[in-house]
Structure 1
């Protein structure tokens, strides 16, 4: 009986991390009336689940190396099944309890239910997910907080580390954010 109650309490605690009808990290349409201090850059742990084309991830990794944010990189380069490696990378980062998971070049067309399961695990753990240059995002918009579109030539682009911290700290942001790796 005690084990069943403990299990129920744990399930309720996990569901408290998931906002109704919105993605984790995308719950505010405006600044809250009560100011809060979020996670500081030097305390943040961000996971980049990399593209099968590692060259696409290099500018992001370089930009993250220039700022005081811990970045964990999951490479899918040279994998026989990059999609499976990327999905497992999301699950592994949930287990590592990072603060934000960024998935590069996501394409859910080949395995939509597998991607939904992996991204739902992050959602249920209360970890926001951002997509970097997604090819095909999940149909369920509650599984990711924002889509970053990398464009180092756009004058109005936001630095990628600033965009990541905005999502991580659940500050108001657009659903699609044009980002740059140039400092």
Structure 2
């Protein structure tokens, strides 16, 4: 019997119709298929990125809108606070200027009063001598009457009754003039004081 003869070309062709069992060839095929097919980006990741960017932009816009809403309020409050501070500073400056002006006025009044008192004291000291004051005090103390003392005293110059009354009031109640008169009387020699007093003791 004759065995069927198989042509080598047929064997080759038959091998091409079956998948290759060679592992290397299979791996190459798989690798080719892997690299050949593009890996699509998942829609879930895109959605997450889009949502995160949207949330970030929305939060930023909300913060910006919130800051824009609050900024006028802060600016008005700051402006009001600044105006109040300026008003308080103006009032304080006005009060300080008023105090300074009052001090200046009081100082000027005091200086004027002192100068007037000094001028009056000088005029009275020039008008009345220490001997006249000693004679007036001694006569009034001895007779207890201004009119009687006025008629019995010989002063250094002619005085009226009104002058005697005014001088007596100054010696008794005017601190400045009385102090100056006492000082001058104490500066007189003792002999002069005794000579004046003897005239009213006789």
Pair in the same fold by TM > 0.5? no
| Structure with a larger share of its residues in helix | 2
| Structure with a larger share of its residues in strand | 1
Q: Pick 1 or 2: higher relative contact order, CA cutoff 8 A, min separation 6.
A: 1
Q: TM-score scaled to structure 2, two decimals?
A: 0.25
Bigger Rg, which one? 2
Q: TM-score scaled to structure 1, two decimals?
A: 0.27
